[in-house]
Amino acid sequence: MGKYLDLKSNYKREKLREASHAIQEGKLVLFPTETVYGIGADGLNKEAVKKIFIAKGRKSDNPLILHVSSIAMIERIAKDISPLEYKLIESFFPGPLTIILNRREIVPNVVTANLDTVGVRMPENKIARDLIELSNTPIAAPSANISGKPSGTNIEDIWNELKDRVDYIIDGGETKIGLESTVIQVIEDEIHLLRPGKITCETLEKYGKVVLSPHILKEVKEDEIALSPGMKYKHYAPNTNCILVYSDDSSKMIEYMKKLEKENTLVITNDKNISCFQNAIGYGTTLEEISHNIFKILRSVDQKKKDLVIIEGVTKEGIGLAIMNRLIRACSHHYIEI
């Protein structure tokens, strides 16, 4: 079982020294970021990175993100960084944004799924950034979960499935955001949004034209290349069959959901609508609350042993686009828009 480090309170940087040595030795460390927890390894050590894929049961054509602690570390792994890319880095790093950059040869193919590009992010979370700095290497880290399952936003939710698959477990408490980072790529001075997150399309539009990837709300086919992590294969999904329902007309949406509701059905809905259904739980009222709670709720679904889960969709504006992106994949694209 991985060694447990409780850093939820009374955090001191020195407590990370042991875990940083583990990274340098090619071991796996589970650590918090402001988005979700990650399973980390030395991103420049291909044998260490391979362990991440084994621990998660992750397919090798699904690229990883390299987490950095400084601009100098970015320039160590990426080249030909454009003025717009530097401006986005300056504006959003550290924070919940990943930028796809041209990679240097120092980055192993196993990190990038053999692409010429690499996703780079500088976490805002102090534990994460200190761990990277003390390790003195970029840390490759996908979300902390078995592939296909909802990402981990606290240690309790992922303890049983991951405690025997990593060498160190750093507990930093509940993550602040609850959704993985926004992923973008600059192509010919246009910002291509590959995976939505906390940093929204509307925010990015202040820096240039934003082009939405067609895969944000649609399935990536088996033979298509995934430029961003988390966009290919079944993802964020409980074992229980789930259906996502959305309409701009709230009353029409609720009426449709009520027709779908059977005896052994669970409805996940806005807190304000719980009383409309026989068996329902709320995911919050604001988009920020929903983004923070949704993975935790999806992780609890299978314990309830229902035949069907009906999930109320949200507006695709702001962070709502990121929430819908995750929910559509959690429902294996069983999505009804009225």
Taking the CA atoms of 200, 201, 202 and 206 in sequence, report the sign of the dihedral they define: positive
CA distance 54 to 12: 31
Predicted confidence (pLDDT) at residue 147 exceeds the cutoff of 90? no
Q: What is the pTM of this model?
A: 0.91
- Mean of the per-residue pLDDT values for the chain? 93
pLDDT band at 223 (very low <50, low <70, confident <90, very high): low
CA distance 64 to 230: 9
What string of DSSP letters covers 55-70? Answer: HHT--TTS--EEE-SS
Which pLDDT score is estimated for 235?
A: 62
Taking the CA atoms of 191, 195, 201 and 203 in sequence, report the sign of the dihedral they define: negative
CB crowding 11-40: b at 16 or more within 10 Å, else e: eeeeebeebbebbeebbbbbbbbbbbbbbb
Which pLDDT score is estimated for 46?
A: 97
Tens of pLDDT, residues 86-124: 999 999 999 999 999 999 999 999 999 999 999 999 999
Residue 291 sits at φ, ψ, to 5 deg, of -60, -35
**Residue among 140, 186, 144, 160 at smallest CA distance from 27:** 140
For tokens 């993802």, name the residue. Answer: 235
Which pLDDT score is estimated for 301?
A: 87
**Could you give the domains of the chain?**
3-212 (3.90.870.10), 242-337 (3.40.50.11030)
The identity of residue 160, as a single letter, is: N
285: tokens are 């009222």
For tokens 């590009």, name the residue. Answer: 117
- Arithmetic mean of pLDDT, 240-268: 95
Predicted confidence (pLDDT) at residue 233 exceeds the cutoff of 80? no
Tens of pLDDT, residues 152-205: 999 998 998 999 999 999 999 999 999 999 999 999 999 999 999 999 999 999
CA–CA distances in Å: residue 71 to residues 27, 74, 97, 165: 25, 5, 14, 31
Predicted confidence (pLDDT) at residue 291 exceeds the cutoff of 90? yes
CA–CA distances in Å: residue 180 to residues 3, 24, 97, 325: 25, 25, 9, 11
Q: Which segments of the chain does DSSP mark as H helices, in order?
A: 17-24, 46-56, 71-77, 83-92, 109-112, 126-135, 155-162, 201-204, 250-260, 287-300, 320-330
- Arithmetic mean of pLDDT, 309-338: 94
Predicted confidence (pLDDT) at residue 131 exceeds the cutoff of 70? yes
- Arithmetic mean of pLDDT, 202-224: 85
pLDDT band at 238 (very low <50, low <70, confident <90, very high): confident
Predicted confidence (pLDDT) at residue 232 exceeds the cutoff of 80? no
CB crowding 116-145: b at 16 or more within 10 Å, else e: ebbbbbbbbbbbbbbbbbbbebbbbbbbbb
Which pLDDT score is estimated for 97?
A: 98
Give the H/E segment covering residue 230: none
Tens of pLDDT, residues 158-170: 998 999 999 999 9
